[in-house]
Structure 1
Amino acid sequence: MSGLTRRGAILYGSALLGLSACGNGVGGSGAAQLDARVDATRDFLRDRYPGTVDLTNRASGVLYMPLMTEAGLFFGGAYGQGALRINDITVDYYSATQASWGLQVGAQQYAHALFFMTPQALADFRRADGWVAGADAKYATPEGGGSLGADTTTTTSPVVAMVFGQAGFIAGATVEGTKYTRIIP
């Protein structure tokens, strides 16, 4: 049996990503179903990480991504859909995509939320034609698994990202390099 060729690796990785995306529950879901998932994600954050209540109250808007599915075998990608909420009212729907390459194998699912802490950061996100999360997004991680502290990172950063609910077999999850595009579900 011959070794795995580059073309074979790309096809295998694409198939793996396609199969994992089939189970992520975002295909053709419609606005009502997506809003229900966003509600569940928001409630999970409030219940599990009480510090996010204050963070949400101080934010100009929050983008909830209830389910990201990521898979890779040397080449990888991730996809998910979510909603931008201002004052807890959905104003837009977004898809999130990632592409990567390198030493990676496996699949995972996770959720994340972007807290836009300034009106300018929110306006820049909404105005952009495909916004890419980068160095301006700072990570907030719950310490001890239960609380989210409002430190200088969360109080001075224009965008705070929180990744949670990881399940699967790929080390780590990040929003760095994720492209967000407005959609109509």
Structure 2
Amino acid sequence: MGATAGGLSACSGGTRSDARFKIDDDVSAAVRQMQTELPFTRSLMANAAGVLMMPTVTKAGLIVGGAYGKGSLLIGQAPVDYYEVFAASYGLQAGAQQYSSALFFMDSDHLRKFRERPGWTLGADVEYTLIDNAGAAGVDNNTIDDAVYAVVFNQAGILLGISIEGSKYNRIIP
């Protein structure tokens, strides 16, 4: 009996880890917050082939900066893969902040390319349109014509300056 119980507890076939539960809960909360604060994202989400949601990205810098976050790729609102983002920056910058971000893949070809690459770089692997809170009002079904949209929301903290930044997304198994 003891050996069987020990063997079963070591087997994780079909069960999700606590890390996945945490990411799923954080992603669900971020989606709700995004759709409440930025109603136009409902349309983006409904029309997207997939959405990469990063519920919390932490960024800090003093001349050299870095950022890190974890999230999941949603297809039809269900998590299908988990990702982490690393970013590095250099320039006149100082401070720290946290934010949430979503990448909306508007066609299956760009989503497929994203999923096939072991490490994917925003800007190098795909051109994208950044939508921040200030300029979001004009996005609707009639104006969606780019392949990938990036939406940043829920910013907290202060990070001032001008810098050059690169971000890399990697698939993880939490």
Q: 1:139 aligns with which of 130, 139, 150?
A: 130
Q: 1:54 aligns with which of 31, 40, 43?
A: 43
2:88 aligned residue: 99
* Distance apart, 1:37 and its partner CA: 0.2
1:121 aligned residue: 110
1:100-125, Cα deviation, whole Å (9 max, x unpaired) = 12211111111100000000010010
Which 10-residue stretch deviates more, 40-49 or 110-119? Answer: 40-49
1:9-38, Cα deviation, whole Å (9 max, x unpaired) = xxxxxxxxxxxxxxxxxxx96000110000
Counterpart CA distance in 2 for 1:96 and 1:158 is 20
* Distance apart, 1:83 and its partner CA: 0.3
Matches within 5 A, 1:81-92: 81-92=70-81
Structure 1: segments with no counterpart, 5+ residues: 1-27
Decide whether aligned partners of structure 1 residues 46 and 119 sit closer, same or farther in structure 2, where only a CA change above 3 A counts. Answer: same
Q: Is the 8 A contact 1:163 1:173 kept in 2?
A: no
Q: 1:168 aligns with which of 151, 157, 169?
A: 157
Identical counterparts, % of pairs: 43
1:158 aligned residue: 147
The structure having more radius of gyration, on CA atoms, is: 2
Q: Is the 8 A contact 2:91 2:162 kept in 1?
A: no
Compute the RMSD of aligned alpha carbons: 2.4
Q: Is the 8 A contact 1:63 1:114 kept in 2?
A: yes
Q: 1:40 aligns with which of 19, 29, 43?
A: 29
Structure 2: segments with no counterpart, 5+ residues: 1-16
Indicate the structure with greater strand content: 2
1:25 aligned residue: none
User: 2:148 is aligned with what amino acid?
Assistant: V
Q: Is the 8 A contact 2:43 2:141 kept in 1?
A: no
1:24 aligned residue: none
SS at match of 1:156: coil
* Distance apart, 1:150 and its partner CA: 2.2
TM-score if structure 1 supplies the norm length?
0.76
Counterpart CA distance in 1 for 2:155 and 2:161 is 8
4+ residue runs over 4 A deviation: none
